[in-house]
Amino acid sequence: MKTIAQYIKDFDDDNLNVRWNAFRQLCEIGSSVVPELIPYLGDSRHRVRFFIVIALGRMGPAALYTGPALIPLLSDSCAYIRCGTAWTLSEIEYADDGRVPALVKALNDVDASVRRYASQALKKIAPNLVGLIT
């Protein structure tokens, strides 16, 4: 079995199959890797940030305490990381530590996909805001 660092290195591989295999393996390991993944949310490589964000979302409730580390990624320079972050924030179901205001702010993102993901996330986690965000 590979180490977490080896899987992370695979995220930067030019071969898409290698990257997706690393992603699947991390997701299969599950919640025990969550603490080791959080520092990689600040990695300089966009592929690494993206795969970590999505892996945390796939882990759902097991990643519930990662919200405060995810929120800054709603301002990431890469739109697909911002989209993935909005989706992940709707999947982890943690006590609101600022995700609703951060997602409301993301409704003004320059990228239409980010706005759509933020809207979908808000509809899921704060249905009482539906009339205000549609």
- The pLDDT value given to residue 80: 96
Domain ranges of the chain: 4-133
Q: Cβ(47)–Cβ(16) under 8 Å?
A: no
Q: 120 to each of 86, 92, 124, how far by Cα in Å?
A: 8, 14, 6
Q: What's the pLDDT band for 67 if we cut at 50, 70, 90?
A: confident
**List of long-range contacts for 43-47, beta carbons under 8 Å, 24+ apart:** 43/8, 45/11, 45/12, 46/76, 46/77, 46/78, 46/81, 47/11, 47/12, 47/19
Mean pLDDT of 62-73: 88
- The pLDDT value given to residue 58: 92
Per residue in 13-56, pLDDT tens? 999 999 999 999 999 988 889 999 999 999 999 999 999 999 99
CATH class for the region spanning 4-133: mainly alpha
Greatest CA separation for the chain: 49
